[in-house]
């Protein structure tokens, strides 16, 4: 998946006073694309992020600081798709737990809500990623850390990008209710 040039134009228009995206911002968009985040969700998240910032400060705000809003938009987008298709979140939850195998643990409790189910799946996914990270060759871990060094200043994004890379390398499933 690759985003259209109109997305870049849209971002530049929101930022104002900027004529191009930095290499780090382009890399960030490429990573979002590799993670499978639809362009529509990126647009919505970026728009919410930049409209919440004083217009005089938007030009200096790096795109990757919109990560949380983009991921929230992605989840909303995926939730809508799930509801549109009429998929039962409880059934999907147990399918994902089964997919996680031993990483889920032996005593996964029945979630009382869709939000709790999503939180449980994210916790299982985090355990799975940590386990694979620990088992990776130190030189490979170092290469991954080096690849995302530009994002070290924002711990949440840095951790998320490294986790996505570990999942990609080991072909680990996405345990979100909203992602097939």
Residue at which a domain ends, from 53, 86, 119:
86
Q: Do 10 and 82 belong together in one domain?
A: yes
Query: pLDDT tens string for the chain (180 positions)?
Result: 567 678 888 888 888 877 888 888 888 888 888 778 899 999 999 999 998 888 888 888 888 888 889 988 998 888 888 788 888 889 989 999 988 887 777 678 899 998 899 899 989 999 999 999 999 999 999 999 998 888 888 888 888 889 989 998 998 888 888 776
Q: Do 108 and 179 belong together in one domain?
A: yes
Q: Do 96 and 163 belong together in one domain?
A: yes
The whole domain housing 7 covers: 1-86
Q: Do 11 and 60 belong together in one domain?
A: yes
Residue 2, pLDDT score: 66
DSSP string, 74-135: HHHHHHHHHHHHT--HHHHHHHHHHHHGGGG-S-PPPPSSHHHHHHHHHHHHHHHHHHHHHH
Find out whether 93 and 148 touch, Cβ atoms under 8 Å.
Answer: no
Nearest to 15 by CA among 64, 76, 71: 64
Residue 144, pLDDT score: 94
Residue 26, pLDDT score: 87
Q: How many domains does the chain fold into?
A: 2
Residue 86, pLDDT score: 83
Q: Do 127 and 65 belong together in one domain?
A: no
Residue 1, pLDDT score: 54
Residue 42, pLDDT score: 93
Q: Do 154 and 101 belong together in one domain?
A: yes
């Amino acid at each position: 998946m690759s985003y259209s040039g109109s997305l870049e134009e849209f971002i530049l228009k929101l930022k104002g006073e900027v004529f191009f995206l930095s290499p780090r911002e382009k890399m960030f968009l490429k990573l979002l694309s590799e993670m499978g985040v639809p362009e529509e969700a990126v647009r919505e998240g970026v728009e919410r992020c930049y409209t919440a910032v004083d217009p005089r400060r938007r030009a200096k705000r790096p795109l990757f600081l919109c990560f949380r809003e983009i991921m929230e938009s992605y989840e909303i987008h995926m939730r809508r798709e799930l509801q549109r298709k009429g998929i039962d979140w409880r059934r999907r939850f147990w399918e994902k737990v089964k997919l996680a195998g031993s990483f889920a643990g032996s005593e996964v409790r029945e979630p009382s809500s869709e939000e709790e189910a999503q939180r449980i799946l994210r916790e299982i996914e985090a355990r799975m990623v940590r386990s694979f990270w620990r088992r990776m060759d130190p030189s490979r871990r170092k290469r991954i850390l080096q690849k995302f060094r530009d994002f070290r200043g924002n711990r949440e994004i840095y951790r998320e990008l490294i986790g996505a890379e570990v999942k990609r390398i080991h072909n680990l499933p996405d345990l979100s209710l909203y992602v097939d």
